[in-house]
Amino acid sequence: MRVLTFGFVAILLSACAGASPSAVTSPSPSVAAIASTPPTASPPPQPTPLAVLPGEPWIVYGWSADVGWYLALMRPDGSDAHKILTEVPGEHKAAAWSPDGQTLAFVVKDADYPEGSIWTANADGSGAALLSAGGTECPVGLFHPSWSPDGTKLAVVCYPGGDVQRSVAVLDLATKSLRRLATFTDPDVIDNAPTWSPDGRTIAFDILHWDPTGAFIDGSVVATVPVASGEIHRLTKPETFMSHPDWSPDGAELVMNSYDLGNIISTAKPSNLYAIKPDGSDLRQLTYSSKDGSMRIGGPHWSPDGTRIVVSILTSTGPDFSLADVKLAFVDAAGGEPVLISQTDGKNGDLRPTP
């Protein structure tokens, strides 16, 4: 399996499903105060057990420490940040809430499964248990779980091994069986979470494309595939570098970001949020704060009520750039600039459903 390493990308934004991001009409862009504030590292969340009661909103997110990644919870106002899953060995990543908000699915990377296995736990991080390590369909490992709307399945990134780089697969929670929907080989690769449409019929994901030398990513597209099986539908063009699609709760559109802060490390291009309809039409730009590669936005997750979007934001990629400096912010679903949730560092936040 190829290890993802990323270099400088210098390709201009161009047409995306008939419209280019730069051509989207907008009010005069303004630079949010967040962009002019140098990142400051915050102390790590402590493993203080707190009750996570039914109906309480919490954000689960990742934190990068010297020993690797782990998961934590914070309230939507940034308070009560604390580490969870402290009894589970290994690195913890890519957490996602179940539709009823009672269960977390997440990835563990450890000595037994160095490429990743899927675990579940209660909302407070207790009761953690291995769900699947991939079996015969994905023997190298699994990553990026995403819940189906009815809570019976997970969409995952599957590592089949051999010549196959990655697959989008569906994991049945009752039988633990895996079914691959879309499989990719060089120069295409899947590296981010697939997400379900609210009606459970379609999965969205992004496809990264390697340059001919295999040295860096030279494009990425947002795509969808029917869960029942069928053709992959590409919604955007590779040169727009769109990634991390997430469905709005009403299924009317997908949010995504340009120039992902994780996969396209070095670029002078803006990194902003966009929304697009599932048929690839009506692209609209949501944020304008990023004017070059020095401010990066990624990993958008729509809030369960559809009013705002949780994003990971890096205010500067200067000489001391580190993914450990990424913080969580909210963006209004109608558009606007990101507002920091707190000074706590964190990445890939997901806001708990509270049905």
* Those residues with Cβ within 8 angstroms of residue 154's Cβ, 6 or more apart along the chain or in another chain: 105, 118, 131, 145, 146, 147, 148, 170, 171, 173
What CA–CA distance (Å, rounded) separates 23 from 247? Answer: 23
pLDDT at 238: 94
Phi, psi for residue 139 in degrees, rounded to 5: -65, -20
* DSSP one-letter code for 236: S
State pLDDT tens for residues 51-89.
899 999 999 999 887 678 899 999 999 999 999 999 999
Opening angle at CA 7, ends 61 and 12, nearest 5: 95
| Euclidean distance between CA atoms 184 and 195, whole angstroms | 17
Q: Please report, for the chain, the start and end positions of each structural domain, with discontinuous segments joined by +.
A: 21-45+57-351
Superfamily name and number for 21-45+57-351:
TolB, C-terminal domain (2.120.10.30)
The beta-carbon contacts of 327-333 under 8 Å, at least 24 apart in sequence, are 327/39, 328/59, 328/61, 328/74, 329/34, 331/273, 331/286, 331/287, 331/300, 332/307, 332/308, 333/248, 333/286, 333/302, 333/303, 333/306, 333/307, 333/308, 333/309
- Burial call 270-303: b when 16+ CB within 10 Å, e when fewer: bbbbbbbbbebeebbbbbbbbeebbbbbbbbbbb
CA distance 195 to 206: 10
Other Cβ atoms less than 10 A from the Cβ of 46: the count is: 10
Residue pair 295/275 in contact by the 8 Å Cβ criterion: no
- pTM to 2 decimals? 0.86
What's the longest Cα–Cα distance across the chain?
54
Instruction: Determine the Cα–Cα distance for residues 330 and 22; give it in Å rounded to an integer.
Output: 23
Residue 17: strand, helix, or coil: coil
CA-only gyration radius of the chain, Å: 19
Per-residue pLDDT of the chain (355 residues; tens, 9 = 90+): 444 433 323 332 233 333 334 333 333 333 344 444 444 556 566 666 788 999 999 999 998 876 788 999 999 999 999 999 999 999 999 999 999 999 999 999 999 999 999 999 999 999 999 999 999 999 999 999 999 999 999 999 999 988 777 999 999 999 999 999 999 988 998 989 999 999 999 999 999 998 888 788 889 999 999 999 889 999 999 999 999 999 999 999 999 999 986 666 677 888 999 999 999 999 999 999 888 877 889 999 999 999 999 999 987 655 556 666 789 999 999 999 999 998 888 899 999 999 8
pLDDT of residue 13: 29
Burial of 9 (0-12, 13-18, 19+ CB in 10 A): buried
Check residue 264 and give its pLDDT: 65
Structure tokens at 14: 């161009």
| Best CA proximity match to 248, nearest among 199, 296, 289 | 199
